[in-house]
Amino acid sequence: MCNSLAHAEDSKNDAKNGSKMKIDLSTKIAGVKLETCVFNASGPADVTLEELEVIGKSKSSAVTMKSCTLEPRVGNPEPRYADLEYGSINSMGLPNLGYKAYIKFARVLKKKFKKPVIASISGMTLEDNVIMFKAFNNSAVDIIEFNPGSPNTIGKPIIGYDFEEMDRLLDAVSKVCKKPFGVKLPAYFDLVHFEQIAGVIKKYPVKFVTCINSIGNGLAINPYTEKPLIKPKGGLGGIGGGYTKYTTLANVRRFYELFEDKIQVIGVGGVYTGIDAFELILAGASAVQIGTAYLQKGPYIFEQVQNELGDFMANKGYKKLSDFRGQLKPL
Q: What is the pLDDT along the chain (331 residues), one digit of tens a residue?
A: 344 444 444 444 444 444 445 899 999 999 999 999 999 999 999 999 999 999 999 999 999 999 999 999 999 999 999 999 999 999 999 999 999 999 999 999 999 999 999 999 999 999 999 999 999 999 999 999 999 977 777 777 889 999 999 999 999 999 999 999 999 999 999 999 999 999 999 999 999 999 999 999 999 999 999 999 999 999 999 999 999 999 999 999 999 999 999 999 999 999 999 999 999 999 999 999 999 999 999 999 999 999 999 999 999 999 999 999 999 999 9
Distance CA 219, CA 288 (A): 26
pLDDT at 103: 98
Distance CA 298, CA 301 (A): 6
Q: Do 282 and 327 contact (CB within 8 A), yes or no?
A: yes
Cβ-in-10-Å burial (0-12, 13-18, 19+) of 99 comes to buried
**Structural domains in the chain plus CATH codes:** 28-77+95-216+241-318 (3.20.20.70)
pLDDT at 21: 52
pLDDT at 149: 76
pLDDT at 152: 75
3-state secondary structure the chain: CHHHHHHHHHHHHHHHHHHHHCCECCEEECCEEECCCEEECCCCCCCCHHHHHHHHHCCCCCEEEEEECCCCECCCCCCCEEEECCEEEECCCCCECCHHHHHHHHHHHHHHHCCCEEEEECCCCHHHHHHHHHHHCCCCCCEEEECCCCCCCCCCCCHHHCHHHHHHHHHHHHCCCCCCEEEEECCCCCHHHHHHHHHHHCCCCCCEEEECCCEEEEECEECCCCEECCCHHHHEEEEEEHHHHHHHHHHHHHHHHHHCCCCEEEEECCCCCHHHHHHHHHHCCCEEEECHHHHHHCCHHHHHHHHHHHHHHHHHCCCEHHHCCCCCCCC
Distance CA 115, CA 14 (A): 31
pLDDT at 266: 99
Strands 287-290 vs 227-228: parallel, antiparallel or unpaired: unpaired
pTM, two decimal places: 0.93
Q: Do 227 and 162 contact (CB within 8 A), yes or no?
A: no
| CA-wise closest residue to 115 among 68, 64, 67, 46 | 64
Name residues whose C-beta falls within 8 Å of residue 225's C-beta, 6 or more positions apart in sequence.
Answer: none
